Amino acid sequence: MSINTRHLLPVCSLLLMIPALADAQEEQSSVTRGEYIYHLGGCASCHTNGKEGGAPLAGGLEMETPFGTFYTPNITPDPQYGIGNWSEDDFIRAMTEGVSPEGEHYYPAFPYTSYTKMSQQDLLDLKTFLDLQAPVAKPSKEHDLPFPLNQRFVLGVWKWLNFESGSFQINQHRNDRWNRGAYIVNGPGHCVECHTPRNIMGGLDTDAGMTGNDNGPEGEAVPGLQSSNHSEFSKWEIEDITFSLETGMKPDGDFLGGSMGHVIDNTTSKMTPADLEAIAEYLKSLN
Ligand code: HEC
Ligand code: HEC
């Protein structure tokens, strides 16, 4: 049998293309995973100014807190006004250490206090997704905070007292589903940020994890999500929890509202059934 080189050539170039194709596929799945992480993280709840019809992720949402008024920054890939120039390391450091590329501390109104638990892979996928969003050339607005809180170095002390960086640690005594739920609630989903009470400095009172917060965002009361305290919630079954997170409807037919409404729209309604069940299993285990 004679080998015709004319036919071999296309075969060779096809073989050469396979690694490139695999790269493109990997890139695509990183984007898809990143988009899901973006929903888990609820980035749009704060960085898109839905109230005033702002462009996605261009910031400007006003956040009233007992410590002053924050305006969320622009996190689109705009190189000047957004985070388009950031390296992977810059992004990971901001999300897990609460430190900017210039080395300044971030305020915990940015829930890096939970995002610090996110895995490296989730953060890299999230960045891949964010890098592909539309850049918006709009400057971020200065926060409106009283002295001395407007001095970022003060945050060094706050972090020393109230913040521990470090990724999520698997609990070997629990199954994968429970661990997945614990990861979402305490990490990307940052459910603890509203459902856990805060100390006088605004730090999370982790000893009272998920017992509710009478003075949550915008001063609204946030219910506890423990199962031991004879609350209405303690009677919810797994299916009640997953259904209410998916649709916003409680077992009694009422709808969840306030800041939880944004969490449902931007986060839990976009979760897979498996992740909703993982959250429910984890919540049912809290005492
Ligand atoms: C609860 C509201 C809230 C949520 C949710 C939130 N952020 Fe933010 N974020 C903020 C605030 C407020 C700041 C400004 C912090 C500061 O100035 O110290 C900020 C700052 C940032 C910064 C630093 C920007 C800069 O210019 O230095 C990045 C990056 C960022 N957020 C990314 C994200 C990503 C990614 C998500 C989703 C996984 C997210 N944020 C979710 C409130 C939020
Ligand atoms: C921005 C603050 C905030 C965040 C973040 C948040 N919640 Fe909530 N959550 C609330 C508020 C406020 C309510 C009460 C809403 C109402 O009664 O209309 C609530 C209610 C709930 C309820 C119903 C409990 C009951 O007894 O009625 C569940 C379940 C719940 N949240 C789960 C979660 C989960 C899971 C997450 C994380 C993915 C989460 N929440 C993140 C503020 C928040």
Residue 213 C-alpha to ligand 2 middle, in angstroms?
Answer: 11
**How many other CB atoms sit within 10 Å of the CB of residue 70?**
20
Q: Which residues contact 102 (CB under 8 A, 6 or more apart)?
A: none
Nearest CA to ligand 2 atom 26: 233
Question: What is the architecture, at CATH level 2, of domain 171-287?
Answer: Orthogonal Bundle (1.10)
Q: What is the mean pLDDT of residues 190-209?
A: 93
Tell me the pTM: 0.94
Q: Which atom of ligand 2 is nearest to the CA of 250?
A: 27
Check if 109 has its Cβ closer than 6 Å to any atom of ligand 1: yes
Coil/strand/helix, residue 71? strand
Domain residue limits, the chain: 28-167, 171-287
Question: For position 3, what pLDDT does the model report?
Answer: 59
**Longest alpha-carbon distance in the chain:** 86
268 Cβ inside 6 Å of ligand 2: yes
Please identify, by atom number, the ligand 2 atom nearest to the C-alpha of residue 244: 29
Chain-wide mean pLDDT for the chain?
93
Give the Å distance between the CA of 111 and the centre of ligand 2.
16
Question: Closest by alpha carbon to 233, among 283, 192, 281?
Answer: 283
**Gap from CA of 68 to ligand 2 centroid (Å):** 23
Q: pLDDT digits over 30-48, tens only? A: 999 999 999 999 999 999 9
pLDDT average, residue stretch 157-162: 96
Q: Is the CB of 281 under 6 A from ligand 2?
A: no
The ligand placed nearest to the CA atom of residue 85 is 1
How many whole angstroms separate alpha carbon 215 and alpha carbon 78?
A: 36
| Confidence (pLDDT) at 10 | 65
Atom in ligand 1 nearest the alpha carbon of residue 101: 27
HEC string for 205-248: CHHHCCCCECCCHHHCCECCCCCCCCCCHHHCCHHHHHHHHHHC
Please report which confidence band the pLDDT of residue 256 belongs to, taking 50, 70 and 90 as the band edges. very high
* 274-277 contact pairs (CB < 8 A, 24+): 274/177, 274/180, 275/40, 275/180, 275/181, 275/184, 276/241, 276/242, 276/245, 276/246, 277/177, 277/181, 277/238, 277/242
- pLDDT value of position 154: 94
231-260: average pLDDT: 95
Contacts of 64 (CB under 8 A, 6+ apart): 218
